[in-house]
Structure 1
Amino acid sequence: MVRYAEPGAVEWVESGGGPLIAIPETVLPFWAGADGDETASDYDRACEVDGSVGLLPVGDSAALVLGDEPASTAYLPDHGVFVRWCAADSEAELLARVPAALATAVWEREVRWKVPGAVVLFDSAWPGPETGRTEHLRVALEPGAYAVRAAQVQPGPETWLGLVQLERLPHPE
């Protein structure tokens, strides 16, 4: 597989062509990926998500599917955002454009995602228990509800990126 995001300032995850998925660690054993005896595998369900983001039930929780295109993806905790590398001359160029991209993004419809804690981002074709054998990224999240929104942004003449922002919602009183 060709690597578009060379090792650098942040850790990038790529897929073999399908969507990336962020699954709470607590329910990783329930994700079968492309394996399984069912007519529609978990991977097939992930591929059916329409748009930039969507939620799929997994165990007693939900997985966040990063749809649209299988772009190299990193998580920037300082911004609470997954950054999807669509086009840029370098990692430095892409990361330097993130603040401007966040400021000018036209966000798609928001979804609400409740997580019990940390999630693991990986290629949705892999079974959850085997994520240690493939590219993956552990993202430490506080338990609770998050507003998730996505945008495609062109913050520079040769730079395009996708954003999936996670905003922690306040606890209900």
Structure 2
Amino acid sequence: MKKDLNHSICEEAIFERIYNTYSKDLHSYLYYRYGEQLNPNDKVQDAFVKLWNNCKKITFNKAKSFLYTVANNMMLNDIKHQKVVLKHQQTQPKHYTYETPEFILEKEQFLERYNQVLTSLNEEQRVAFLLNKTEGKKHSEIAEMLGVTQKVVEYRIYSAFNILKKELQGFKIK
């Protein structure tokens, strides 16, 4: 008696039979062809998910071909992706800038002057200012760390900011 090969693979029992029949062979095929590095287990599972999602379009006698084609294409796509990643890792970043030498010199001089003014601040102002502006601490956190009130911290930051603004031309901070 001839089997009817046009059964819908959307039926759970038929899909399970397809899975039990082809999953190990498909895994072995992918493993021996591409190796363990590209996760053949994942590709097998993904191929069966795609088969399930397209079960109405695929007949029972085309299921094996569909699974092998989909799994093989997924592996090839992963290989292509790895080549792109490797290519981008090997490219060296460009070491030029569009900044003019004058701008770079001004930036270095400003940074040097900024550091000088920072060192000229008294310790309380410098600590409060740097905790707030470089480490992003809130006024309440700084007050707790230093053991002072929040108003004292605000005053220290404000006075440090005013000194920096007065000593450095064009100094702005957010």
Normalising to structure 2: TM-score of the pair? 0.19
Larger relative strand fraction: 1
More helix as a share of residues = 2
